Structure 1
Amino acid sequence: MTKKLFYLLVFFFSIPTINFAQQSGDSIQKTKITIPEIEKVYLHTDNDYYSIGESLWYKAYSVYAYTNQLFDHSKILYVELVSPESKIISCNITNLEGGLGHGDFILADSLGVKPGTYQLRAYTNWMRNYGDDFIFKKEIRIISPNKDNTILYQENDNTKTIAKNKKDNSKVEDPAAILIDFFPEGGSLLEEVISNVAFKATDSYGNPMEIKGTIYDTTDKPITLFKSIHDGMGKFILQPGKDQKYYAKVTTANNEELKINLPEVQKTGYTLSINSIDQKKVVTIKTNAATLNQNPDADLTLICTTRGITYFEGTQPLKDPKLSFILPEENFPEGIAQVTLYDKLSRPQSERLVYIEKNNDITVSLSTDKKQYIPKEKVNLNLSAKDKQGNPLIANFSIAATDTNGINENFDNTLDICSYFLMASDIRGKVHKPNYYFNHSNPARLFHLDLLLLTQGWRDFVWKKFPNLHKSQNFKVEKGISITGKVENLIGTTAKENNQVQMILLNNKATAMLNDTTDVNGKFEFNNIVFKGTATMLLNTKNQKGKNRGEFVLDSIYNLPMTVDFKAFKPLNEEENQITQLETNIRNKNILFNIPEENQLKDVIITAKKKKDDTPESRYGFADFTYIPEEKGPRFSNIFMLLQMTIPNVTATVNSVRFNRYNGPPVILVDGIETDMDLLSSISIDDIAKIEAIKGPGAAIFGSQGANGAIIIYTKMGKGSTTSKKVFHSIAMPVNGYQNTRFFYSPDYSKPNPLEKDKADIRNTLYWNPYIQPDEKGSATISYYNNEVDTTVNIDLEGITNNGIPIVVKSSYQIKK
């Protein structure tokens, strides 16, 4: 049952009241149950700029799009690094657990990394059902202070000046390359109805441009002046007359003039406006006499939603040209609300976006034990996270401490978890200086945020397709890594039904064995597998009689990446100047410490030592015996004599090979492929690189096939058998799992390390921790050591509470000798 809520406005002038019925809590809850399971993801990175050779560290937060609560839905997150040339140069398969994950990229020359603006992109397979709407994108800058810098960005060879409006797409071309859009509040201009008209001006790279101008009517009479007031945006009031058309004469900062037509004026219809009065949001519906005459007492429905959930809805007959009411903000969560007006035929007539800000009554703070430290001194950082009653917050955070390198960073320019989940993710296109609108030190931020919503607010965003989103779910939720395929007959493509398929995964001395039976279509599936790094996959199939029969046809483990649409636009002069200054400061820091780049203490990457020879690594764990042929060792006439003479307790003839302790033959693999006697006899002993014998419990990794032991033969360069005969019922191949994530290295100067004694510590990222949770008292303590540079260190904490409130806290301190 719905409840009637009445909102009476009393101002110095009379405003007619409107009665709307708010949707009940039960009804809203029912809506939540039936809505699609949409994910959003955000990446917190340790920095926004990096030198070539450094590591980029990230923490992933995957949330339920409607509530911003952590969402344990997809388990695989694809994180890609996109170059200025719009090429994916690296991709991480990041494991998500409980909506959280982390990973890193090493920005090495081997990736083809050059100075320039790159894009960090993240998405799940499930997100692909909704196009580009929920794909996370963030720009990062890569510099090379010790080398000649040619900054890369994507130029548009066909760039022209385009100035147009949203309705009639009128265009004016000019060498200044300026795009100017006009947006009537609510969507349309209406004859004899006063409306706000917002506008936005950008250059061809999407950067804001300041403009001013005059509006003229059909008779070339000047009507009103306008001027941008924030990032190329502004607004003016216009009351269109009957049978009038309007145009703007615009003057740019370069004193160039443009003439642009405004959207056409409608003769009938409805407009929707929202104004802030006494800290309340007043919604006003307006129309003209012509509309009232055509539709007297027309029933209008107002639906107010946030992220696809309806929080206010009602129907009211319109008897007068103007009706107003106060939007019940207390019923809405924080974020962008979409207010849509429908006629009696459920056709949308007008729409307005408005930001609802909330006081969450929580306190999250960071404090260091000092405000100034000496180089390499230990820092003790204390975190406190509590609600207004003093109870500890249940939340998950990530934290980074970075050297500013002499640059006073403007945090308004960056993107954080608050500005992304609450605003930027619900607006199409790049938002210039997204954090400006959430910085409480900016007194006009909410007014300017309203301008952003009037101009850059979405039109056909995915929420407007709701509730039909479930009809286009072609991409599955990935709960783990899946290895699938089918088994066919060798002749033709007839499916092999009821074939036994065994899969063995060998990874870091760990083994997983899985079995499946093919269905009527020959299909087999191994789903929700979890492994990190590269593993060796062994597949074997047998028919119902236990004979090796059939041919594998494997599916791709991962889908092809999404289409890249990144253009690394040229930054503004102030941003370019900051990067130039940053490069200079880092270069001077290197000179000050009198060290070449290779002796800087940056990230410590532990890798295995490269073998001096070409002996292949073991794929199957520890062998009971290993034989490696020597260049001047004994010569054997064939493979069977070699096995007989070199492998202890093995009897080998042309017809059979077996361990003396067993009655049956062992499983024999050549470069991972199960081999019979005919194939074995065709191997040249000169091609053998290594032989391993497993006759104890270790042979259990081969299942029942290993009951009589195993002999594994590796050939030089993986040549395998020289015969033309091919094995189809077995496959051995490397497969990639989740990224084998590294731990962030932070030196401990209380324990001197001789290996680092001669290396200068000029790390840009001093500390990174992707998983920090307050204890039962709402506290956490973090310790790390400073670098040895006189500098300012910024501390950046981001995270989210269990009820979906994004948190950002920033702090800083000094390092001084």
Structure 2
Amino acid sequence: MTKKLFYLLVFFFSIPTINFAQQLSDSIQKTKTTPPEIEKVYLHTDNNYYTVGESLWYKAYSVYAYTNQLFDHSKILYVELLSPESKIISRNITNLEGGLGHGDFILADSLGIKPGTYQLRAYTNWMRNYGDDFVFKKEIQIITPNKENAILSKENNNTKTISKSKKDNSKVENTAAVLVDFFPESGSLVEDVISNVAFKATDSYGNPIEIKGTIFDTNDKPITLFKSIHDGMGKFILQPEKNQKYYAKVTIPNNEEVKINLPEIQKTGYTLSVNKVDEKKIVSIKTNAATLNQNPDADLTLICTTRGITYFEGTQPLKDTKLSFILPEENFPEGIAQITLYDKLSRPQSERLVYIEKNNDITVSLSTDKKQYTPKEKVNLSVSAKDKQGNPLIANFSIAATDTNGINENFDNTLNICSYFLMASDIKGKVHNPNYYFNNSNPARLNHLDLLLLTQGWRDFVWKKFPNLNNNQNFKVEKGISITGKVENLFGTTAKENNQVQMILLNNKATAMLNDTTDVNGKFEFNNIVFKGTATMLLNTKNQKGKNSGEFVLDSIYNQPIAVDFKGYYPLNYEENKITQIKTNIRNKNILFNIPEENQLKDVIITAKKKKDDTTESRYGFADFTYIPEEKGPRSSNIFILLQIAIPNLTATANSVRFNRYNGPPIILVDGIETDMDLLSSISTDDIAKIEAIKGPGAAVFGSQGANGALIIYTKLGKGSTTSKKVFHSIAMPIDGYQNTRFFYSPDYSQPNPLEKDKADIRNTLYWNPYVQPDEKGSTTISYYNNEVDTTVNINLEGITNNGIPIVVKSSYQIKK
């Protein structure tokens, strides 16, 4: 470093920051103290390639956007599976606790699953306040190994299937239009100021295209050559001359030449550039003489932020056409830093993104007790997580062990938790092969990452505007399941104020009873409810005199999905080759073990059976007695005679129905609707499907209405609920809560299962565990059994530490007979 530059840097850093604070507007200053509660979410999946009928397993990590620490904010996460035809084919309501959750999709034929590229996306209701900027999106491939390869492409917005037979070895090339864009390093080209100009070439689906070309001036004089060096990206140096315009002649892969104009040249202005010198990032502010003449000794303010939080700031008068300084990377967290230059009126003049890489001095490792196993042998996997002092890390991980199916790659370039939280979630558009930039075995990865930041763009409109984001938050944080609605007069839409609303939820033998009073608008709400699976909801409303009165108008329990912007795309040749190789490998496994697909050992759903006793499970708990009419049994002339015969210790006449142990009438439900004697008498005995009697403590689920027991009648095809007279002040209906998550089934070959002895174990996912945590010593051990295929198994650990450091660790081993 020269002595002149050294003194310049010392001078810059010695400047007090009081001027900066005086120049900033109130809104900019506010960003330093009151950032909004922005969430980001990432899904770790067990695999990226699935066959029809398999399960897709996922672990959700929800973090505070500024620190990447787990964020206990929203409790409901919407996880959706989108088809190549841009349709939502399945939706899970995933419960988040402490920023963590998990779930799965069964990729069954019943969902309309067929081969192609699908999208997995996840978001909270709160995220919708920020558009779709923080919606997690990931593509997965679904294949059918026993059928011919089928690839979906989009041409003129119409879906087209291109089939390749075994005899056709030719490549089907992507014929989408080529898009080439040029990006001056800090936003603008300024006359007489030397600048880097980056470029990026893609097809219309966002896939990179390799190009080369020449830059020409207004007089068609060639100025410089350029060529893409990574994923369609590259850069060149240009010093624009006065009164000149520039254009590029670009040669695309089919040797066609395209002419593209470069951005307009500004006569005055400022640029920012970043160069690496001796492992330091040198930031340079440059301008021309015309700008200095117009603004002598202009005060310029530099603000450097990461994810919207300011980590470095300073103000300096510009006396020359160039000013340089070292960026103090030690002040920043890992991730993308945004350097913005403001003039004395706080107007942004130029901007540059840089990536700050950190050595976090932590060690997370995976180790198996062997490097080679026999089929169905037990694997003992050890996880160690410690800091540089040997202290245990507080962290949460998820682990997947998968059959590579012939794809022996040392590093998967698809999305992982590091590339998402540290890079991909903070820049615009889809990042091609994001994990490439985080693979230490790629020596040029940081240079190529810098190209990506020069061309891909920043979600700046969110971070720059975030002081005002708190003002317009139309989408609320969901802290649990909410059941809301209003009570109106039976005739008309006048609100019923001060009505009592009672709700009973019956789920998995548990009962919850809640009460509320309608407000002046007739509204009621039950918030922050937690239950899994399907529950029966009973609602009843009474007026202030205790009389059943009013009609329910219910709101939707869950928010409607956000708009779909995913379009099935045609994969590049290398991705197509990978899919074909996986399909071939899985097909060969089927042939090798001489089994049809239905005899493979796949996911097993374990359910428990209840021991038989005197009670029968009911929608409303457990019935004390259940009657189901026999198809050829005796017929009763009316409902009351049938009730008298069917239910022991029940007295039933046209005027009253009661259990002998009580003095008053029971609550009577017909197909979930509370019923009076007139409606009961109109039911034909031929329409009865089942009758249940709850006359013991179980009737307490109906509150005070169940004080004299409950009589529940189900009609064939729900005919009872479509009779002319309905009860509007009561509702009984099934509702869905959080996804009733399954446990991943892993066979235990130390205890052979006779039911599985004839099934070949060629599972693609051998092990999945969404919750792996180090113990007080920073370690833990897990075990599982291999499949019975000679193959390579990849182990993938992902997770995050308590201080927000994302972790990815990979390992592998062999299975060999």
Superposition deviation, residue 212 in structure 1: 1.2
Moved more, 455-464 or 465-474: 455-464
Say if 2:647 is the partner of 1:647: yes
Moved more, 407-416 or 10-19: 10-19
Superposition deviation, residue 624 in structure 1: 1.1
Superposition deviation, residue 401 in structure 1: 0.3
Q: Following the alignment from structure 2 to structure 1, what is the Cα–Cα distance between the partners of residues 153 and 2?
A: 53
Q: Following the alignment from structure 1 to structure 2, what is the Cα–Cα distance between the partners of residues 142 and 12?
A: 57
Aligned pairs (5 A) from 1:506-655: 506-606=506-606, 618-655=618-655
Aligned pairs (5 A) from 1:381-460: 381-409=381-409, 411-458=411-458, 460=460
**CA distance change for structure 1 residues 501 and 470 in 2, over 3 Å: closer, same or farther?**
same
Q: Following the alignment from structure 1 to structure 2, what is the Cα–Cα distance between the partners of residues 411 and 425?
A: 20
Amino acid at match of 1:273: S
Aligned pairs (5 A) from 1:176-575: 177-409=177-409, 411-458=411-458, 460-575=460-575
Superposition deviation, residue 632 in structure 1: 2.8
Q: Deviations over 1:441-469 (max 9, x none)?
A: 11111111000000002264411222111
Name the residue aligned to 2:144. 144
Q: Deviations over 1:129-176 (max 9, x none)?
A: 1001000000000000012332224334499xxxxxxxxxxxxxx987
Q: Deviations over 1:73-126 (max 9, x none)?
A: 000000000000100000000000000000000001100000000000000000
Amino acid at match of 2:597: E
Q: Following the alignment from structure 1 to structure 2, what is the Cα–Cα distance between the partners of residues 77 and 204?
A: 31
Superposition deviation, residue 220 in structure 1: 1.1
Aligned pairs (5 A) from 1:769-780: 769-780=769-780
Q: Following the alignment from structure 1 to structure 2, what is the Cα–Cα distance between the partners of residues 387 and 244?
A: 57
Name the residue aligned to 1:64. 64
Q: Deviations over 1:23-66 (max 9, x none)?
A: 999x9998565111000000000000001110000000000000
**CA distance change for structure 1 residues 752 and 158 in 2, over 3 Å: closer, same or farther?**
closer
Q: Say which SS state the counterpart of residue 411 (structure 1) adopts.
A: coil
Q: Say which SS state the counterpart of residue 435 (structure 1) adopts.
A: helix
Q: Following the alignment from structure 2 to structure 1, what is the Cα–Cα distance between the partners of residues 762 and 72?
A: 39
**CA distance change for structure 1 residues 10 and 729 in 2, over 3 Å: closer, same or farther?**
farther
Q: Deviations over 1:502-525 (max 9, x none)?
A: 111122222211111111111000
On the 8 A contact 2:32/2:310 being kept in 1, the answer is no
Q: Following the alignment from structure 1 to structure 2, what is the Cα–Cα distance between the partners of residues 721 and 629?
A: 19
Superposition deviation, residue 602 in structure 1: 1.1
Q: Following the alignment from structure 2 to structure 1, what is the Cα–Cα distance between the partners of residues 382 and 802?
A: 21
**CA distance change for structure 1 residues 381 and 123 in 2, over 3 Å: closer, same or farther?**
same
Name the residue aligned to 1:48. 48
Q: Deviations over 1:320-376 (max 9, x none)?
A: 111111111111000000011111111110000000000000000000000000000
Amino acid at match of 1:712: I
Q: Deviations over 1:577-630 (max 9, x none)?
A: 111111111101110000000000011124699xxxxxx972111111111111
Q: Following the alignment from structure 1 to structure 2, what is the Cα–Cα distance between the partners of residues 566 and 721?
A: 41
Amino acid at match of 2:12: I
Superposition deviation, residue 300 in structure 1: 1.1
User: Where does the alignment leave 5 or more consecutive residues of structure 1 unmatched?
Assistant: 1-7, 160-173, 610-615
**CA distance change for structure 1 residues 458 and 12 in 2, over 3 Å: closer, same or farther?**
closer
On the 8 A contact 1:21/1:313 being kept in 2, the answer is no
**CA distance change for structure 1 residues 232 and 671 in 2, over 3 Å: closer, same or farther?**
same
On the 8 A contact 1:115/1:142 being kept in 2, the answer is yes
Q: Following the alignment from structure 1 to structure 2, what is the Cα–Cα distance between the partners of residues 681 and 505?
A: 29
**CA distance change for structure 1 residues 66 and 15 in 2, over 3 Å: closer, same or farther?**
same
Say if 2:738 is the partner of 1:738: yes
Moved more, 394-403 or 670-679: 670-679
Superposition deviation, residue 657 in structure 1: 1.0
TM-score by length of 1: 0.94
Name the residue aligned to 1:94. 94
**CA distance change for structure 1 residues 10 and 125 in 2, over 3 Å: closer, same or farther?**
farther
On the 8 A contact 2:151/2:570 being kept in 1, the answer is no
Q: Percent identity?
A: 87
Q: Following the alignment from structure 2 to structure 1, what is the Cα–Cα distance between the partners of residues 489 and 208?
A: 63
Q: Following the alignment from structure 1 to structure 2, what is the Cα–Cα distance between the partners of residues 42 and 463?
A: 19
**CA distance change for structure 1 residues 524 and 343 in 2, over 3 Å: closer, same or farther?**
same
Moved more, 439-448 or 454-463: 454-463
Amino acid at match of 1:730: S
On the 8 A contact 1:682/1:721 being kept in 2, the answer is no
Q: Following the alignment from structure 1 to structure 2, what is the Cα–Cα distance between the partners of residues 483 and 304?
A: 45
Moved more, 450-459 or 775-784: 450-459
TM-score by length of 2: 0.94
On the 8 A contact 2:53/2:106 being kept in 1, the answer is yes
Amino acid at match of 1:301: T
**CA distance change for structure 1 residues 175 and 118 in 2, over 3 Å: closer, same or farther?**
closer
Aligned pairs (5 A) from 1:98-117: 98-117=98-117
Name the residue aligned to 1:670. 670
Moved more, 127-136 or 505-514: 505-514
Superposition deviation, residue 645 in structure 1: 2.4
Q: Between Structure 1 and Structure 2, how many residues are aligned?
A: 789
Superposition deviation, residue 69 in structure 1: 0.1
Moved more, 590-599 or 726-735: 726-735
Q: Following the alignment from structure 1 to structure 2, what is the Cα–Cα distance between the partners of residues 292 and 286?
A: 10
Name the residue aligned to 1:697. 697
Name the residue aligned to 1:612. none
Q: Deviations over 1:627-678 (max 9, x none)?
A: 1111232322211222222212212221211112211111111111111111
**CA distance change for structure 1 residues 534 and 22 in 2, over 3 Å: closer, same or farther?**
farther
Name the residue aligned to 2:36. 36
Q: Say which SS state the counterpart of residue 418 (structure 2) adopts.
A: helix
Q: Following the alignment from structure 1 to structure 2, what is the Cα–Cα distance between the partners of residues 9 and 18?
A: 15
Name the residue aligned to 2:761. 761
Name the residue aligned to 1:799. 799
Amino acid at match of 1:415: L
Q: Following the alignment from structure 2 to structure 1, what is the Cα–Cα distance between the partners of residues 148 and 656?
A: 66
On the 8 A contact 2:671/2:721 being kept in 1, the answer is no
Superposition deviation, residue 796 in structure 1: 0.1
Q: Deviations over 1:289-340 (max 9, x none)?
A: 1111111111111111100111111221111111111111111000000011
Name the residue aligned to 1:749. 749
On the 8 A contact 2:511/2:701 being kept in 1, the answer is yes
Moved more, 770-779 or 248-257: 248-257
On the 8 A contact 2:300/2:317 being kept in 1, the answer is yes
Superposition deviation, residue 210 in structure 1: 1.2
Q: Say which SS state the counterpart of residue 471 (structure 1) adopts.
A: coil
Q: Following the alignment from structure 1 to structure 2, what is the Cα–Cα distance between the partners of residues 592 and 721?
A: 56
Say if 2:16 is the partner of 1:18: no
On the 8 A contact 1:354/1:450 being kept in 2, the answer is yes
User: Where does the alignment leave 5 or more consecutive residues of structure 2 unmatched?
Assistant: 160-173, 610-615
Q: Deviations over 1:476-533 (max 9, x none)?
A: 1000000000000012111101111111112222221111111111100010111111
On the 8 A contact 1:766/1:786 being kept in 2, the answer is yes
